[in-house]
Amino acid sequence: MLQSLKGRDFLSLKDFTKEEILALINLAIELKSCHKQGIRKDILAGKTLAMIFQKSSTRTRVSFEAGMFQLGGQGLFLNTQDLQMGRGEPIADTARVLSRYVDGILIRTYEQKEVEELAYYSQVPVINGLTDLYHPTQALADMLTIYEHKGKLEGIILAYIGDGNNMVHSLMIGGAKLGMEVRVATPIGYEPKKEVIEMAKTFAEESGGKIILSNSPQDVAQGADVLYTDVWASMGQEKEAEIRKNKFQGFQINDKILKLASEGAIVMHCLPAHRGEEITHEVMEGPQSVVFDEAENRLHAHKAILAALL
């Protein structure tokens, strides 16, 4: 199964089968176990990953850079100022040049079409480190975290409360592919994109999963195995922050919401978190929070992607 991933791009989980996603999760578990035991796996010895960052990052940059090193390769951090892209060089030209130097390209940017254009012209695998539409590398780490804490993915009820953003798009697609019930509660007017909803519903029908949309945090939290949230205003939406703060009142994971979930429910957040807004400090630091396990799993999920693709 993993052999089928060699040389592929990682632009969205929609491009992968249930079996391929599970194979990546299992590889991440194996690599994590080796790491904990101090066993070095030089799978990518002599290979390099160009890492283009048009958006700032803590977890994506460090996990991919550290991951390449731990697998025997090297990550090359490149921001817009380091590249001629910042001075108007077309993405197509950047792709054709970089792919003659390196074994893979990671990009974290705004528009999904930029990632797709980069992949179209690149001769090496391209990994989507985040766009305004999708965040597939985070979603894979999330699925790994849920599996570790719940022992399964199929049939799990994941309740997402907050903005209908890139994060929920990837959770809906990944969850639907894996047979999960993904419930999404957003304020009116902040729902996920219709085309992503329809796509996820199609995947859910094939897997036996469900996609449920609501404007009630209480409804989606009822009996959920996983409570998940994200910031109310993502990067690029700073001017809307105050408006969103008013609109999203009541869409917070707090003790009241947590009590509605199933016994032993876990709480997740992709970080960075604004405590007191989308999640309370008490819940984030509480015994049901797996937020930092989730953050750690970025490293191991990303290593699995690198090892499988490069």
Residues that are catalytic: 108, 135, 138, 230, 270, 298
Q: Report how far apart, in Å, the C-alpha atoms of 254 and of each of 114, 167, 259, 263 are.
A: 37, 20, 9, 15
**Cα 179 from Cα 212, distance rounded (Å):** 13
Backbone conformation region of residue 266, classed left if phi is above 0, alpha if psi is from -120 to 50, else beta: beta
CB atoms < 10 A from the CB of 260, how many?
Answer: 17
183 token code pair: 């419930």
**Cα 28 from Cα 291, distance rounded (Å):** 18
CB atoms < 10 A from the CB of 240, how many?
Answer: 13
195 token code pair: 């085309």
**Cα 9 from Cα 127, distance rounded (Å):** 6
Handedness of CA 209, 145, 231, 299 (dihedral sign): negative
**Cα 27 from Cα 172, distance rounded (Å):** 22
Residue with tokens 């796996």: 41
Pairing between strand 181-185 and 48-53? unpaired
**Cα 188 from Cα 6, distance rounded (Å):** 42
Which has the closest alpha carbon to 196: 220, 170, 215?
170
* CA angle centred on 108, ends 70 and 144, rounded to 5°: 55
**Cα 258 from Cα 247, distance rounded (Å):** 21
